[in-house]
Structure 1
Amino acid sequence: MPALFYHVTQSPVEEVVASLLQRALGQGWRVELRGTDAARMDWYDQRLWLGGDEAFLPHGLAGGPHDNLQPVLLTTAPKPEGMQAIMALDGAEVSLDEIAQKERVWILFDGRDQQALERARAQWRDLTGAGASAQYWSEEGGRWEKKAEK
């Protein structure tokens, strides 16, 4: 599977995260939601609890006693055991091996943040340069469209 780069421009990133997580859980996948900052992952932890009964996303923060049972594990470090998918946020690293081994890898970045754009471009160059296949998706037209594939 290719790494899926999601250029978020119209929706709040957390809404895209929640939507993709719902779909992944519907596929029966366990997902590692990987960020770069513990405080930001705490923020996502709180945000995912606010969805209400219909939109609730079962999850936990890494470091708890039941990490290996969490459908969605929020972390700042790779947790390769038992996860079928990785969703990388805020420039979190994803390796070539992870892309090859997982059912799905998403790399989400906020298109309104120039630093995030530059980091995503660097990740694209690094991963595709190392041989990973990748797709670039953008919502700038109001809906998700595949803009590039390598």
Structure 2
Amino acid sequence: MAEIGFYHLTRATAQDVLPALLGRTLSAGQRAIILCGSEERLAALDTALWQCQNPDWLPHGSAATGHAPQQPIWLTLLDEDAPNGARFIFLIDGMSTAQLDKFDRVFDLFDGNDDAAVSAARRRWVAAKDGGHTLSYWQQGPQGWERKQ
């Protein structure tokens, strides 16, 4: 079973918070997949990860660059087996995966300022809970991430 963290974004976008979460992922010796909802999002995220300054190095690739097995972070639009061997997956843009059991950690980032996104995240929470996964809920607060019960 996967450990699934739901990240309720209230003050920043997924693109803003991903660098820190990905930096921690790489520091832990893990690889990651980011499942994006559109080509435009993937391209914007690709640019943002190359330009981020903290951490200052987030090596990544996508189908456009290739060499998936060598990429610590893989950006994709496809819900497929991890071509880079990742055990962590980041779901943005309301994306979900049918392959929860193939990952150790799932990060479900959703826009708390969008009622439809919140409702969809609640449905994903119920489905994951019914699937027997370990769940946690994090919300952006004034001092950073706050774990909620």
Fold shared, TM-score > 0.5 on shorter chain: yes
Cα offset for 1:18?
Answer: 0.7
TM-score, normalization: structure 2?
Answer: 0.87
Structure 2 counterpart SS, 1:23: helix
* Identical-residue share of aligned pairs (%): 32
Determine the C-alpha separation between the residues in 2 that align with 1:62 and 1:22. 22
Determine the C-alpha separation between the residues in 2 that align with 1:136 and 1:57. 25
Matched residue, 2:38: 37
Structure 1 counterpart SS, 2:37: coil
Cα offset for 1:103?
Answer: 2.8
Unaligned runs of 5+ in 2: none
Structure 1 counterpart SS, 2:8: strand
Counterpart of 2:143, as a letter, is G
1:52-89 CA deviation, whole Å, 9 max, x = no partner? 49522111123543012111100011242311210000
What value does the CA root-mean-square deviation take over the aligned residues?
A: 1.9
Matched residue, 2:15: 14
Matched residue, 2:75: 74
TM-score, normalization: structure 1?
Answer: 0.87
Determine the C-alpha separation between the residues in 1 that align with 2:131 and 2:106. 16
Determine the C-alpha separation between the residues in 2 that align with 1:63 and 1:124. 32
Cα offset for 1:145?
Answer: 1.6
Matched residue, 1:86: 89
Alignment of 1:49-128 (within 5 A): 49-52=50-53, 55-81=56-82, 82-95=85-98, 97-98=99-100, 100-128=101-129
- Greater than 3 Å deviation, 4+ residue runs: none
CA contact 2:92–2:110 (8 Å) conserved in 1: yes
Determine the C-alpha separation between the residues in 2 that align with 1:34 and 1:53. 22
